[in-house]
Structure 1
Amino acid sequence: MIRLFPHPGLTVLLIIIWMLVLNELSFGGFLLGIVFGTLVPLFTAPFWVGRSPVRYGWPLIAYVLLVIGDIVVANFQVARLILFRRNRDMRSCWLTIPLDLRSTEAITVLAGTISLTPGTVSADISTDGRHLLVHALDTDDPEAEIARIKARYEGRLMEIFR
């Protein structure tokens, strides 16, 4: 069964995305989604050598809910900054975050999470993969912001990507 579905999470995700793209619930569309969801991971499996095992379940669900909550809160914070602060009062800065993560998938998820949250954007990763360059729109304490990102996101990703 593992050989037919080398990446079951990707299979389910592709089926869901296919149904969303179709924008209708039909048996034929679902069947075609199953075909795509099976064939794409099957043909791309040789390129996924040495990938980190992902811990599905509560840690992943908790992480997704945390990120969604942070995105909502950050939207209001950025809107408040834009509407009620003058541009010269902004304290933007570049943060260099030292990474404890070693998995490229986990680092990619961390960079994506940071970029999805309004007010911060991932700009670059060092060539050795040990530092992430992030731009923060407004922060009064860069060290505290780095510690918050590491504790809030990186620690949880270390649980998800063993």
Structure 2
Amino acid sequence: MTRWIPSLPQSLSVLLLWLLLVADLTWGQLLLGLGLAIGLPLLSGRLMPQRARFGRHGVLLRLALRVAGDIVLSNIEVARRILGPERALTPGFVWVPLELTNIHGITALASIITLTPGTVSAELSEDQRHLLVHCFNLKDAAATVADIKHRYEAPLKEIFP
């Protein structure tokens, strides 16, 4: 299965997306979709420098729930700060040293940070060892770095060993 279908989720996504786009469930469209579902992952697999390998799958659900909760709480906090006095805001940048070495884990961390209101991933250092994060309200840089490392990077290290 690895040889003909390098990524089953990607192949299923391509097939489903194709069928949704053409909005026609005929044998011809199904065969064309299957051809795309096999061909595109084979071609795109050559572009990826490193395959995503998952470690502990149970941690993924826990991290997803944590991120969802943090997004809701951050939305409330950002709204409260925007409606408050402007002088109370202290935006700033902070470099987060990374222990993650897997590029997929680093990408997931940068995405999580950007999805959480009030923070944006701005840059990844050349050596991929530091991530520059802009914070809407940066009170304590060390506490922010520790929070990112504890809440997001630690679970991602288990998911992407």
**Distance in 1 of aligned mates of 2:26 and 2:68:** 32
Q: CA deviation at 1:64?
A: 2.1
Q: Which residue of 2 aligns with 1:54?
A: 54
For residue 132 of structure 2, give the secondary structure of its aligned residue in structure 1.
Answer: strand
Q: Residue type of the partner of 2:137?
A: D
The change in CA–CA distance for 1:104 and 1:23 in structure 2 (over 3 A counts) is same
Q: CA deviation at 1:33?
A: 5.2
Whether contact under 8 Å (2:92, 2:134) holds in the other structure is yes
Identify which range, 40-49 or 117-126, moves more after superposition.
Answer: 40-49
Q: Which residue of 1 aligns with 2:110?
A: 111
For residue 47 of structure 1, give the secondary structure of its aligned residue in structure 2.
Answer: coil
Q: Residue type of the partner of 1:104?
A: I
Aligned residues: CA RMSD: 2.6
For residue 46 of structure 2, give the secondary structure of its aligned residue in structure 1.
Answer: helix
How far does the alpha carbon of each residue in 1:6-42 deviate from its partner, in whole angstroms, 9 at most, with x for none? Answer: 12233344455x2796497x64599465543332211
The change in CA–CA distance for 1:15 and 1:149 in structure 2 (over 3 A counts) is farther
The change in CA–CA distance for 1:148 and 1:49 in structure 2 (over 3 A counts) is same
| TM superposition score normalised by structure 1 | 0.83
Which protein is bigger by CA-based radius of gyration? Answer: 2
Count of equivalent residues: 159
Q: Which residue of 2 aligns with 1:98?
A: 97
Q: Residue type of the partner of 2:133?
A: V
How far does the alpha carbon of each residue in 1:51-82 deviate from its partner, in whole angstroms, 9 at most, with x for none? Answer: 34123732222222222221122111111111
For residue 58 of structure 1, give the secondary structure of its aligned residue in structure 2.
Answer: helix
The change in CA–CA distance for 1:55 and 1:21 in structure 2 (over 3 A counts) is farther
- Kindly report which structure 2 residues correspond to 1:15-94, keeping only aligned pairs within 5 A, or say none: 15=15, 18=17, 22=21, 27-28=25-26, 31=30, 34-55=34-55, 57-83=57-83, 85-94=84-93
Q: Between the two proteins, what is the percent identity of the paired residues?
A: 38
**Distance in 1 of aligned mates of 2:55 and 2:18:** 25
Whether contact under 8 Å (2:100, 2:157) holds in the other structure is yes
Q: Residue type of the partner of 2:112?
A: T
Consecutive unaligned residues in structure 2, runs of 5 or more: none
| TM superposition score normalised by structure 2 | 0.84
